[in-house]
Structure 1
Amino acid sequence: MKITQIDLYAIRLPLISPFIVSYHTYDDMPSIIVKITTDEGIVGYGEAVADDHVTGESWESTFALLQHSLAPALIGHNPMHFETLHDKMDAIVYQAPAAKAALDIACYDVVGKKLGVPVYDLLGGRYHERFPITHVLSIGEPEAMAQEARERMEQGYSSFKMKVGRDVTSDVARIRAVRNEVGPDIAIRVDVNQGWINASSTLQAIEQMKDLGIDWLEQPVKADDLDGMVEIKSKSTISLMIDEGLKYKREMLQVIKLGAAHKANIKLMKCGGIYPAMKLAHMAEMAGIDCQIGSMVESSVGSAAGFHVAFAKKIFSSVELTGPLKFSKDIGNLHYDVPFIALNDQAGLGVDVDESVLEELTVRHQTVIAP
């Protein structure tokens, strides 16, 4: 089996409401969908959601890199040879994980369809039967965030991830308002997205919210400040999760060596796809670090890929892949039984892509074939 054609679609996914984090407000979500076709007529889909602040890639640069470098390099190669394909991509460009993830995911979709098995069966088989879905609260006024949490709790959600990172005083007010609204038994996870900058301000925040029953605190300091993570972890009883500070194997090794986090947020867009995500999960498992599959607000395609990784490994205890729930229109049909998700057993990613919606949302399309 060989890859004969790769189609690239630069799309913008419409959000029901703006998605607000510490460093940006998204009115829609720019994404790149990759469609791989083989000489046997098998089609697989992948996705790249680039983030200038996290992966160092933009929507435009990712499309150009795929069009001119990465996609042409994979034409004629067997999509089943994951290690070889990643080696080829790594030899072409340093990092660029979201671009590589799109091709990686599409190859897994192809191989699953070729063998007639779900992607999780390519990763060791299904371990989890279902996962509870955590609702993500964008940054807003304390009362508005509390009201949204109340409404979602009434829909059955039992955990919330709060986006904060503006300043310690207002952020603690947000967290306290949500806790007061939902009561003591609902899980609250706090994601700062680097917004508290350093250990000093983070420790001040922790002191102010020590009575709020926080499940864990995610990436409060700048991504490359592992020393700050170590200091916070040594002085706090709140579990600490690393996100933006963890992309590749080298960083996972440093996190393990330094004891910089209790938990790791593994995202396919940060590490280059399913294949490298599994390597990170194995490293974390050996070190006793609990794992989560996180979201870059992908469509059904990228979200399904993350779920397959999470469902296949015991070490994953939480998932936050809620992109499809945030879109007013999606290209795929990943199904949620809110507040849970239980993947189907269809071959590949198990997602049907609506080509008419894909065409509608496409801003730019390019086909790559053998020269």
Structure 2
Amino acid sequence: MIIKKINLYAIRLPLKQPFIISYHTYEDMPSIILEMETDEGIIGYGEAVADEHVTGETWESTYQLLKHTLAPKLIGMSPFNIEKIHEMMDLTVYQCPAAKAAVDIACYDVLGKKVKQPVYQLLGGRYHEEFQLTHVLSITEPDRMAEEAARMIGEGFQSFKMKVGTEIGMDIERIKKVRERIGMEVPIRVDVNQGWKNSSQTLRALCHLKELNIDWLEQPVSADDVDGMVRIKSMTDIPLMIDEGLKGIREMREIIAKQAADKVNIKLMKSGGIYPAVKLAHMAEMAGMECQVGSMVESSIASAAGYHVAFSKKVITSVELTGPIKFSKDVGDLKYDVPYIRLTEKAGLGVEVDKGILEELTGFKSFIE
């Protein structure tokens, strides 16, 4: 079986409400959908959601890289040869993990459909039966965040991730208001998205968070400041998670060597897809570190890919892939059972793509064969 044709769709996924984090406000989510067709007529789907603030890729650059550089080289290759495909991509272009993730995910979707098995069966089999979903609170006024948290509890959610990373005093007020509103027992995770910049600022903020029962604090300092994470970890008993500071194997080696975090957030868009994400999970397991699989707010396609990785690995103990819940219109049909996610036994990613919606959301497209 060989890859015969690649179709690319540059789409914008409409959000129900703006998604606000420390470094950007998203009115919608730009995404590239990759449709891979083999000589046997099997079609697989991949996705790239670029984030210029994290990996340096943009929606436009990712589309052009796939169209002109990577996709033409895939024609005639076997989707079974995942290792060779990643080697080809790595030799062709440095980094650009979101573009590579689109190719990788589509290959796994094809392989699962070929052998009539869900992708998690190709990764070691199913370990988890379900994961609890965490509702993500984007940055707004403290009272509004507290009100949203209370409303989401009414809708079945049992844990929250708070986006902060603006002025520290206002961030502390946000966290306190949410904690007061939902009580001390509901889990709260705080994601700073690099917004507190350095370890000194973070330690100043942590003085006010000691008594608020925070599950963990995520990426408070700049992505490359691993030593800052080490300093914070040595001076607080609130668990630390690293996100933007972890992309691939090089960063994971440094994080492990310096014991810079208690937990790592693996994202397919940062690591380059399913295959390298699994490698990172294995490295973390050998170092005794827990993992989460997160996302760049992706459609059902890439969200399902992340779930297949998470469901197959014991070391992955939490997930944050709620993009499809945030969209008013999605290209796929990944099913959520709030407050849980339970994957089906459908072949491949287990996602049916609605070509009508895909075409509707497409701004521009290309076909390579």
Rounded Cα–Cα distance in structure 1 between residues aligned with 2:217 and 2:132: 19
Counterpart of 1:84 in structure 2 is: 84
- Does 1:304 pair with 2:270? no
Q: Which runs of 5+ in 2 are unaligned?
A: none
Counterpart of 1:345 in structure 2 is: 345
Rounded Cα–Cα distance in structure 1 between residues aligned with 2:80 and 2:169: 51
SS at 2:216 equivalent:
strand
Deviation digits for residues 144-177 of structure 1 (CA, Å, limit 9, x no counterpart)? 0000000011112111000000011000000000
Normalising by structure 2, we get a TM-score of: 1.00
Rounded Cα–Cα distance in structure 1 between residues aligned with 2:153 and 2:252: 34
- Does 1:207 pair with 2:210? no
SS at 1:366 equivalent:
strand
Counterpart of 2:333 in structure 1 is: 333
RMSD: 0.4
SS at 2:207 equivalent:
helix
Rounded Cα–Cα distance in structure 2 between residues aligned with 1:210 and 1:154: 27
**Match of 2:197, as an amino acid?**
I
SS at 2:33 equivalent:
strand
Runs of 4+ aligned residues of structure 1 deviating over 6 Å after TM superposition are none
Counterpart of 2:57 in structure 1 is: 57
Counterpart of 2:255 in structure 1 is: 255
Rounded Cα–Cα distance in structure 2 between residues aligned with 1:207 and 1:72: 54
Counterpart of 1:186 in structure 2 is: 186
Give the Å deviation of 1:345: 0.3
- Does 1:138 pair with 2:111? no
SS at 2:57 equivalent:
coil
**Match of 1:338, as an amino acid?**
V
Give the Å deviation of 1:68: 0.4
**Match of 2:309, as an amino acid?**
V
Equivalent residues in 2 for 1:1-80, closer than 5 Å: 1-80=1-80
Give the Å deviation of 1:206: 0.6
Deviation digits for residues 9-38 of structure 1 (CA, Å, limit 9, x no counterpart)? 000000000000000000000000000000
Rounded Cα–Cα distance in structure 1 between residues aligned with 2:302 and 2:167: 32
Counterpart of 1:294 in structure 2 is: 294
Rounded Cα–Cα distance in structure 1 between residues aligned with 2:204 and 2:87: 44
Q: Which runs of 5+ in 1 are unaligned?
A: none
Counterpart of 1:153 in structure 2 is: 153
Equivalent residues in 2 for 1:220-235, closer than 5 Å: 220-235=220-235
**Match of 1:137, as an amino acid?**
L
SS at 2:211 equivalent:
coil
Q: For this pair of structures, how many residues does the alignment match?
A: 369
Deviation digits for residues 24-64 of structure 1 (CA, Å, limit 9, x no counterpart)? 00000000000000000000000000000011100000000
Rounded Cα–Cα distance in structure 2 between residues aligned with 1:323 and 1:292: 16
Deviation digits for residues 100-156 of structure 1 (CA, Å, limit 9, x no counterpart)? 000000000000000000000000000000000000000000000000000011112
Rounded Cα–Cα distance in structure 1 between residues aligned with 2:55 and 2:150: 33
SS at 1:208 equivalent:
coil
Deviation digits for residues 67-116 of structure 1 (CA, Å, limit 9, x no counterpart)? 00011111100001110000000000000000000000000000000000
**Match of 2:129, as an amino acid?**
E
Rounded Cα–Cα distance in structure 2 between residues aligned with 1:154 and 1:182: 11
Rounded Cα–Cα distance in structure 2 between residues aligned with 1:271 and 1:56: 13
- Does 1:106 pair with 2:106? yes
Rounded Cα–Cα distance in structure 2 between residues aligned with 1:365 and 1:58: 16
Rounded Cα–Cα distance in structure 1 between residues aligned with 2:285 and 2:155: 33
Counterpart of 1:273 in structure 2 is: 273
SS at 1:244 equivalent:
coil
Percentage of pairs with the same residue: 65
**Match of 1:224, as an amino acid?**
D
**Match of 2:367, as an amino acid?**
T
Give the Å deviation of 1:276: 0.1
Give the Å deviation of 1:339: 0.7
Deviation digits for residues 228-281 of structure 1 (CA, Å, limit 9, x no counterpart)? 000000000000000000000010000000000000000000000000000000
**Match of 2:45, as an amino acid?**
Y
Counterpart of 1:164 in structure 2 is: 164
Counterpart of 1:323 in structure 2 is: 323
SS at 2:212 equivalent:
coil
Rounded Cα–Cα distance in structure 1 between residues aligned with 2:149 and 2:331: 27
Counterpart of 2:175 in structure 1 is: 175
